[in-house]
Copies of this chain bind each other. A is one copy, B any other.
Amino acid sequence: MEPLPLVDQHCHGVLREGPDEAAAFEALLTESDAPPAPGTRHFDTQLGFAVRRWCAPVLGLEPHCAPDDYLGRRRQLGAREATRRLLRAARIGTFLVDTGLPGDLTDPGELAAAGGGTAREIVRVERLAERAAAAAPGAAAFLAHLAEAIAAAAKTAAGFKTVAAYRYGLDLDPAPPSAAELRDAAARWLDSRRTDRLTDPVLLRHLMWSAARTGLPLQVHTGFGDPDLRLHRADPLLLTDFIRAVRPTGCRVVLLHCYPFHRNAGYLAAAYPHVYADVGLSLGHTGARAEAVLAEMLELTPFGKLLFSTDAYGLPELYLVGAQNFRQAVARLCARFTGEGSWSRSDADRVAALIAAGNARRLYGPGN
C-alpha cells in the first residue's frame, strides 16, 4: 500500500553541513540545552531509539545498529546525501517551514528540493518584531515597520507562528493592547537596547493580535519544548480567553505540540470552531509510544481539526522519525478501532487522510 501523503504543517530547516561529532548530533536529538547527565547519552531516549530504528536502514544499516556505527555511516555518506535519503524516505509532499530559527539551515526551497516536495513559509512574528526593532529609530517607526512587515509577510506566507509561550507564558492578558500601552511598551523595549529578544507581554499580545487580523492561521507553541520554557505556563487552556476574544477576527488558531496537555488541546478544538490541534513534537519524541499519544489526541479532537507535523529541526532524521512514527501510529490505531468494530474501514481511511494532509490543505488553502 502506498504510504499516506503528508503535509508537514510545522517544520524547520536542517543543517547544510554535518553535524559530524557525536555530541553535536546528539544535542539535536534532545530539547535540552545541556550535555547528558554523567553516565548517560541523549541516544538513550524514545527519540534516539526511533532514529536508530527508522533511519539506519535508509543509510544502508541494520535497524537498531549502534549509535556510533550510525554516525560513522552518516559521515561517510556526507550531510547532503544523508539528508537527501532521509527526506525522500519521509515522503512528505508539502513542507510549511517556520524560518524563524538561527543557524546554517536549509531554506524552504532547498528543503523542498531535497525532499522532493514543495514548501511554503510560516513566519514567526517575534522574529519580524526583532528585525523591525533593529532597524527602527524609535517606537513609532518600529510599530510602523512592524505593521508593514506583517502585511508583507501575509501576502506570501502560509501562516504565522508565535512563541509567546517561551518568551513570557500563555497566561497573557487576552485583549489587544491599547495604543497607549503599545507605544509605552515599544519605547521601553527599544530603550532597554535588548532588542535581540522580545519578552514584553504587551508586545507579544500585539504580535498575536496583528497576526490574527491578517486572516491567516496563527500557530501557537504550546506544551513541551526546550528548557527555556516554564511548561506549566504553556498549557493551551491558558489561551482560552484569547481564543474567545480573537474569534470575531476570523483567525484560526493552531495549537502546536500540546503534550502533555494534548487532551486539553483536544477540548479546545472541540469547543471552538476556529481552533485546531497539531501532533508535532509529541509523536516524534515519544517513539514507541506515539500510538498511545495520538490515541489520546483523538479522544475529543474533531477528526477535521487534527494536523500532522514533524517540528523537525537541524537533523533530517527528525523528518523521517516524525513521519514514520505518525504513519505507524495512525495505521495501528485504525486497525485497532476497525478490528473491534468501533470505526468502519472507510471511515478509518478517511480520518487518516484528513489528519495526514486533508485538514492542512483545507486550513492553509491552495498550494498545499
Report the minimum CB–CB distance from A271 to chain B (whole Å). Answer: 4
- In the complex, 7 of the A-B residue pairs with CB atoms within 8 angstroms, ordered by the A residue number, are A45-B270, A46-B300, A49-B343, A230-B237, A289-B295, A289-B296, A289-B298
B235 A232 Cβ-Cβ under 8 A: yes
Q: Are B260 and A267 in contact (CB under 8 A)?
A: yes
A53, CB-defined interface residue at 8 Å:
yes
Copies of this chain, whole number: 3
Instruction: Please judge, given known A-B contacts A30-B270, A46-B298, whether A238 and B232 are in contact too, CB under 8 Å.
Output: yes
- List of B residues within 8 angstroms of A300 by Cβ: 45-46, 224, 285-286
A343: B residues at CB distance < 8 A: 49, 53, 64, 288
Q: Which residues of B contact A39 (CB under 8 A)?
A: 304, 362
Contact residues of A between 36 and 90, Cβ < 8 Å to B: 36-42, 44-46, 49-50, 53, 63-64
A361 to chain B minimum Cβ distance, whole angstroms, is 10
Q: A42-B302, A288-B337, A302-B42 given as contacts; is B347 within 8 A of A49 (CB)?
A: yes
- Report chain B residues within 8 Å CB of A230: 237, 240-241
A286: nearest chain-B partner, CB-CB: B299
Seed contacts A45-B300, A231-B267; 15 additional CB < 8 Å A-B pairs: A30-B270, A32-B270, A34-B273, A35-B273, A37-B273, A37-B302, A40-B303, A45-B270, A49-B342, A53-B341, A64-B343, A224-B300, A232-B240, A288-B336, A289-B296
Q: How far is the CB of A250 from chain B (nearest CB, A)?
A: 11
* Bound CA–CA A224/B235 (angstroms): 15
Cβ of A259 within 8 Å of any chain B Cβ, yes or no, is yes
B-contacting residues, A247-287, CB 8 Å: 252, 259-260, 263-264, 267-268, 270-274, 276, 285-287
A200 at the interface (CB under 8 A from B): no
Option from B238, B287, B298 in Cβ contact (under 8 Å) with A342: B287
Contact between chains at B270 and A40 (CB < 8 Å): no
Asked if A226 CB lies within 8 Å of chain B CBs, one says: yes
Q: How far is the CB of A230 from chain B (nearest CB, A)?
A: 5
A184 to B: closest C-beta gap in Å: 28
**CB of A305 within 8 A of chain B?**
yes
Whole-angstrom distance between the alpha carbons of A229 and B270 in the complex? 13
Cβ of A2 < 8 Å from any Cβ of B?
Answer: no
Residue of A230, A263, A336 with most partner-chain B CB within 10 A? A263
B304 near A36 with CB under 8 A, answer yes
Chain B residue nearest to A244 in the complex (CB): B227
A293 within 8 A of B: yes
> In the complex, A305→B232 CA distance in Å?
21
A344 at the binding interface (Cβ < 8 Å): yes
Residues of B within 8 A of A362 (CB): 38-39
Q: How far is the CA of A120 from the CA of B197 in the complex (A)?
A: 48
Q: Mark A299-316, 1 if CB is under 8 A from B, else 0.
A: 110111100000000000
Q: Which residues of B contact A64 (CB under 8 A)?
A: 343-344, 347
CB distance from A260 to the nearest CB of B (A): 4
